[in-house]
Amino acid sequence: MAPHTPLTLRPAVDQLDALNRREISAVELLDEHVDVRNRLHDSINAVVSVDIDAARVAARDIDNRRAAGEPVGPLAGLPMSIKDALATEGLRTTGGAIELADQVPTADAATVSAVRRADAVVYGKSNLPRWSGDIQASNDIFGTTNNPWDLTRGPGGSSGGAAAALATGMTSVEIGTDIGGSIRLPAHFSGVCGHKPSFGIVAQDGYVDHLSWGAANADVNVVGPMGRTVADVSLLLDVLTGPSHDLSPAWQLTLPAAVPAEQARVGAWLDDPACPITPEVAAVIDAAVAALEADGCVVDRAARPAHDFADVYRIGMPLVSAAVSPGRTDEEFAGLLARIDDGDEMLAMRAGATTMRHRDWLLLAEERTARRRSWADFFTRYDILLAPVAFTAAFEHQTQGNLYTRTLPTSMGDRAYADLIAWTTQFGYVYLPATVVPAGWTPDGLPVGIQIVGQYLGDRTCLAMAARLENLLGGYRIPPIALA
């Protein structure tokens, strides 16, 4: 990165170094990030709720403690926004739902508490779709977030505001959530990094995904770190990893050490007839894997688990639909009951999964366990699997229909919008960790990410390989709008 690059666009670890060297104060760094947010807000609309006064108080306290030689946390002075699906004490949290437009929580989500204890400076909330339920970041309260690489397109979802804020330097790091790809898809569409942790290693307490939020954890869902670089994501993961409040008296976790990237046994699943990748994206992914091979890594491009890709449509997507069903209104639920036998296969799946009996859910979860065992067997032979994130790069804003009724025009013809989550749900519903880093850009100048998947609890191995790919491929690039 060029020496003259603004500090707000540099890695968070560089910002921490500048803070620790007293080259900039926490208050000054906060003000620089807020200035970026204000300058680009009308164009990007990423950080939608702010409390600058409270953030300045926190930043000033950190500056005073540093000056006095007192201990500070590992994120001390880093300004950050947080996805609006996570509760923030004293700062409006809506989940993107109009019913919660004026909600101000009295307690932080567990992950927000963690970054505050680490002395991050939380100044705002990033945009998302209603109940985190779309691959765009748009809702009736705050409107639509635009992709920094092309304002006619979205940054992905549901952590789209988070990704756009990172790409443009409005935040140093971010906390997203991911149930069907909501960290990984925005990282891919916006040209940043994100990590979907192994299910259960980061507390979900304070996740706002329906009106009576907070009483239970959502199946499949995880909370995880986003950043411009793998080092930033790794730093934040160390802060976020921890138990939910009720398990904290006894719960401990030590993630296995990373398999060194130079020693990792690598497989690649780069396309599949069940969800084919567009030529523009396929070319970028193939070149990324070729670069890894040229660097001396042996990649088995025929590596596959014992089950079919298409199982994601029969098991994975229904489990995701069931997990998000509490966010459906009574009217929506009744409407879905009436569509169980719909002629549209995707809509019928959604309707049946959202309204299924508990017995049916248990039988589906049993099939998931079989797929988890299939993956466990796969990872006795491989340490890493490389895969696409989505079949296309960032798409133009979609305002009609919903996740299950929209179609997207592509160079391969119209595709089902719901197919956007097929490559992410493939690994998410079975609880595997996955890191996304920029792999390259399409001829039209749109980012393309690559998904680096590991065995359950193999998060550090994913991150190690992600760092190798980041170094080989160049990693994050600054969108021109951020320097305009």
pLDDT given at position 337: 86
**pLDDT tens for each residue of 95-128:** 999 999 999 999 999 999 999 999 999 999 999 9
Q: Is the pLDDT of residue 409 over 90?
A: yes
Domain boundaries, the chain: 7-266+399-483
Least confident of 137-141, 348-352, 403-407: 348-352
pLDDT given at position 316: 97
Q: Is the pLDDT of residue 251 over 90?
A: no
pLDDT > 90 in the chain, percent: 90
Query: Average pLDDT, whole number, for the chain?
Result: 96
pLDDT given at position 222: 98
Kindly give, in sequence order, each residue whose CB lies less than 8 Å from that of residue 466, ignoring residues fewer than 6 positions away. 193, 195, 230, 233, 435, 436, 437, 452
3-state secondary structure of 79: strand
pLDDT given at position 381: 98
Following DSSP, what letter does each residue of 273-342 receive, concatenated? TTSPPPHHHHHHHHHHHHHHHHTT--EETT---SS-TTHIIIIIHHHHHHHTGGGS-HHHHHHHHTTTT-
CA 305 to the chain's CA centroid: 24
pTM above 0.95, yes or no: yes
Strands (E), 310-467: 384-388, 407-410, 413-416, 434-441, 447-453
**pLDDT tens for each residue of 187-236:** 999 999 999 999 999 999 999 999 999 888 999 999 999 999 999 999 99
Burial of 345 (0-12, 13-18, 19+ CB in 10 A): exposed
* Alpha-carbon span 4 to 1, nearest angstrom: 8
* Alpha-carbon span 109 to 218, nearest angstrom: 14
pLDDT given at position 378: 98
Q: Is the pLDDT of residue 40 over 90?
A: yes
Counting runs of H as helices and runs of E as strands, what totals does the chain give?
16, 15
* Fold annotation for 7-266+399-483: Amidase signature (AS) enzymes (3.90.1300)
pLDDT band at 144 (very low <50, low <70, confident <90, very high): very high
pLDDT given at position 57: 98
pLDDT band at 243 (very low <50, low <70, confident <90, very high): confident
pLDDT given at position 56: 98
Q: Is the pLDDT of residue 402 over 90?
A: no
